[in-house]
Amino acid sequence: MIKIGTRGSKLALWQANYFASLLQDNDMESEIKIIKTKGDVAKNLSFDKIEGKGFFTKEIEDALLNKTIDVAVHSLKDLPTQSPEGLVTAGLSDRANPSDILLINPESFENDQPFKLRKNAVVGTSSQRRKGLIKYYRPDVGIKDIRGNVPTRIKKLREKEFDAIIIARAGVDRIDADLTKLETLTLNPREFVPAPGQGIVAFQTREENIELRKTLGKLTDKKLIETTNVERRILQQMGGGCHMPLGAYCVKDNNGYLHVWACFAEDWKHPLRFVQYSASTDHELAETIVKKLKNDTTI
């Protein structure tokens, strides 16, 4: 019996049950254990007010190290690039739509405005990256922090606390969120660059658990590993986490070329720098992107 550790939100439980179904397809039984994280407890603080990295993952990783669970299921974008000693990310889900989605109250929708938002609209997000991007494209809008799971955020939008909110399209799709009477706009990931690993679920286990690691490895698309590693290396080399306005998105075309879109700012109130770069190999690809994001003139 494999014990799966997860947060308790509707989306996190979808992810855990998705993983359980993969195990079942491989004739492996499992049970789900819900674990509260610092990010779940500090519901009234924006991400930049919570100290440290991994505030949606640390307590689950501790349970792995303590052997009270066998596999931790995380949103990859929440998972720090450096695993604690003794743990490894052994598998990835298929990638859902990596885009962000803008949900708009009907009375705040204006078709002739960029992003279909009325002038001076108030947009809800606690992501530094999303704040920086929406202000880049729409300097007139106001920004207001929002916390809570996907249904809670949509409820706050319906209650007119915001004109619009920005959340991950994958989360909306996975829980089949009720979007009736809301206007929706899926944002192009090559322009509104997503977080590294957005749309992917990560399966983490103990390094010593060789057989389970082999099983998880078999479940993972090798091409996805390659593109995701580029995104994650960019994040790692930038020293980033949820506090940093950083986006990175990598795709591989049918000819084997890798294409990367990235953006970065020192702070969401500072101007964003954008990079688009293509290469035939991932060798030094992340390093090149990082130098360009840092405006390093030695390249």
The residues assigned a catalytic role are: 77-78, 129-130, 147, 153, 242
Q: How far apart (Å, rounded) are the C-alpha atoms in residues 92 and 15? A: 11
Nearest 5°: CA angle at 153, between 244 and 239?
10
Give the number of other Cβ atoms within 10 Å of residue 86's Cβ.
Answer: 11
Q: How far apart (Å, rounded) are the C-alpha atoms in residues 261 and 272? A: 13
Give the number of other Cβ atoms within 10 Å of residue 25's Cβ.
Answer: 9
Q: How far apart (Å, rounded) are the C-alpha atoms in residues 200 and 15? A: 10
Q: How far apart (Å, rounded) are the C-alpha atoms in residues 135 and 114? A: 12
DSSP letters spanning 115-137 = GGBPTT-EEE---HHHHHHHHHH
CB 236, CB 120: distance < 8 Å: no
CB 68, CB 86: distance < 8 Å: no
